Structure 1
Amino acid sequence: MDILLSAIFSSEEEEQYVLDCMAYLMLLMAAWTFFCLLSTNVPYGRYAMYGHGFPVNAKFAWCVQELPAFLVPVGLLVWTSAAKTSLLTNQLIIAMYLFHYAQRSLVYPLLIRGGKPTPFMSFALATLFCLYNGFMQIRYLSHYAQYPADWITRPCFITGSALWFLGLLVNLHSDHILRNLRKPGETGYKIPKGGMFEYVSGANFLGEITEWVGFAVASQSVHSAAFAVFTIVILRSRAVGHHKWYLAKFEDYPKTRKALIPFLY
């Protein structure tokens, strides 16, 4: 893979410039997506519109679309001379990224109970995003990110790591609550209760946003910041959509519950 990348980029300076451009492009994509989603929901799950392509099985879609975000980084780490991966800070930040996507692509799909099919267009776009982001994040962290020796003792790394871990716990617990809403044989939607769902309708989304904000705070790069911003844009839309849907469907839905940020939004 080093030979392939050397054939594409004439120098390390050129490759780092391209990685930076990829991050700024992601920020532009986030801005465009934000305005697009002001008037519609991402077409998946209860909002699926099958004019966006034929439906893809939910378990298959989740596994395949998330897998590039795990396999591409692993390939980069195994088959390239990853200059920075011997450094503890880089290892820890890379581990945050890989742990999330190992769980999301290899474990989460196996735990899905039912799940509505995903329109092919949503599936394809998610797959492309995971390819793009997986390469950008790990190529930068494994080759170009440089941190002082005391970085892991600095407030930004400690705060970011704590946010990442807290977000991971909220995300996993919220997914557990959602999976267990229905008893065997039951169908239909129910009001999620417990954990952060007592405060927001999009508790699972809040957890994932917190993870990637923490990741960005810990790594302090435009690449991780772009990913965090893009995540906020997509998941904010989903949380608001879910909140409005719950309020419309359930007369007894808790009126004090917010969409995404406890007590505020």
Structure 2
Amino acid sequence: MECWDSAVSSLSWTLIIGGLVFVLHQRRNPTPYGRYTPAENRCCPARVAWFLQEVPAFLVPLLLLLLTEAPGSGGPGTVRTLLLCCFMLHYFHRSFIYSFLTRGRPVPLSIVLYAAIFCSLNGFLQGHHLLHCAQFEDTWLMYARLVTGIVVFVVGLIINIHSDAVLRSLRKPGETVYRIPHGGMFEFVSGANFFGEIVEWCGLAIATWSLPTFAFALFTVCSIGPRGCQHHRDYQQRFEDYPRSRKAVIPFIL
């Protein structure tokens, strides 16, 4: 398959512009999500919703990978496959593990639909770019960035998975009460799970050093960063003894 430069560039800039517009919109008119969604709008069970909206970001790159001629041992082809597998690993966990463990509230069908469309397009963007467009030179600088980026990605993935486990442990099945999360990165930020995901995609952006992964990392910051800030304010209002030293999303900064 040829590299569709125009499609890759257009989708990347759409993510960048869309993320910045979303931040501005959230500052003026926050979108109800999760605990802030009116009960009458919740219609899709959380486990079904998470699976349906996340699985395209795993299946689309997998399909592209299966349709692409396997690279020889070593070299740029192996690097491309490794980086794409990092991307797919996150969404494999989200689709086939997290979605069946979550105890979240039902989700509006519109959010599931929009998220599935986004994951499909982003899965194609990242998969097609890495398999058919990305160029990796055999230099020490490239390998230094690659190793650094993958380490950062893995650290973010561990933070994300651990933080989700902490949140799940706060409630017994059937409970709807809210409790203050403790442990791990929750000692530093209210949105530890969001922070972990941001770290993941920043790590992948470092490893690939490309416009599409940078665009996705920026979009992630713009889309879940405001949610972390919203959760932080909610925790502070809900609990009088909430730790005042915690930040919202970025430790010691924001």
SS at match of 1:87: helix
- 1:60 and 2:38 are equivalent in the alignment: no
State the match for 2:147 in structure 1. Answer: 158
The answer as to whether partners of 2:159 and 2:196 remain within 8 angstroms in 1 is yes
State the match for 2:67 in structure 1. Answer: 79
CA displacement, residues 128-154 of structure 1 (integer Å, 9 cap, x when unaligned): 110110000001101111101246863
The answer as to whether partners of 2:136 and 2:142 remain within 8 angstroms in 1 is no
State the match for 1:169 in structure 2. Answer: 158
Q: Call closer, same or farther: CA 1:223–1:153 in 2, change over 3 Å.
A: closer
Deviation of 1:249 (Å):
0.5
Alignment of structure 1 residues 225-240 onto 2, 5 Å = 225-240=214-229
Aligned counterpart for 1:23 among listed residues 12, 21, 24: 12
Alignment of structure 1 residues 203-222 onto 2, 5 Å = 203-222=192-211
State the match for 1:90 in structure 2. Answer: 80
SS at match of 2:8: helix
Aligned counterpart for 2:97 among listed residues 107, 125, 128: 107
- 1:243 and 2:232 are equivalent in the alignment: yes
Q: Aligned partners of 2:138, 2:95: CA distance in 1, in Å?
A: 33
Q: Aligned partners of 2:90, 2:207: CA distance in 1, in Å?
A: 15
Q: Aligned partners of 2:225, 2:137: CA distance in 1, in Å?
A: 34
Aligned AA (1:194): G
Q: Aligned partners of 1:83, 1:236: CA distance in 2, in Å?
A: 37
Q: Which runs of 5+ in 2 are unaligned?
A: none
Q: Call closer, same or farther: CA 1:54–1:179 in 2, change over 3 Å.
A: closer
State the match for 1:199 in structure 2. Answer: 188
Moved more, 54-63 or 83-92: 83-92
SS at match of 2:27: coil
Aligned counterpart for 2:25 among listed residues 29, 32, 36: 36
Q: Which runs of 5+ in 1 are unaligned?
A: 3-11
Q: Aligned partners of 1:50, 1:146: CA distance in 2, in Å?
A: 48
TM-score, normalization by structure 1: 0.89
Aligned counterpart for 1:127 among listed residues 105, 108, 116: 116
Quote the sequence identity (%).
Answer: 41
State the match for 1:254 in structure 2. Answer: 243
Aligned AA (1:107): I
The answer as to whether partners of 1:83 and 1:143 remain within 8 angstroms in 2 is no
Q: Aligned partners of 1:89, 1:180: CA distance in 2, in Å?
A: 37
Aligned AA (1:228): A
The answer as to whether partners of 2:68 and 2:131 remain within 8 angstroms in 1 is no
Give the paired residue count: 252
CA displacement, residues 104-124 of structure 1 (integer Å, 9 cap, x when unaligned): 1111111112x2111122111
The answer as to whether partners of 1:152 and 1:158 remain within 8 angstroms in 2 is no
The answer as to whether partners of 1:49 and 1:119 remain within 8 angstroms in 2 is no
What is the root-mean-square deviation of aligned Cα atoms in Å?
A: 2.1
The answer as to whether partners of 2:71 and 2:78 remain within 8 angstroms in 1 is no
SS at match of 1:37: helix
Q: Aligned partners of 1:214, 1:187: CA distance in 2, in Å?
A: 35
Q: Aligned partners of 1:213, 1:78: CA distance in 2, in Å?
A: 26
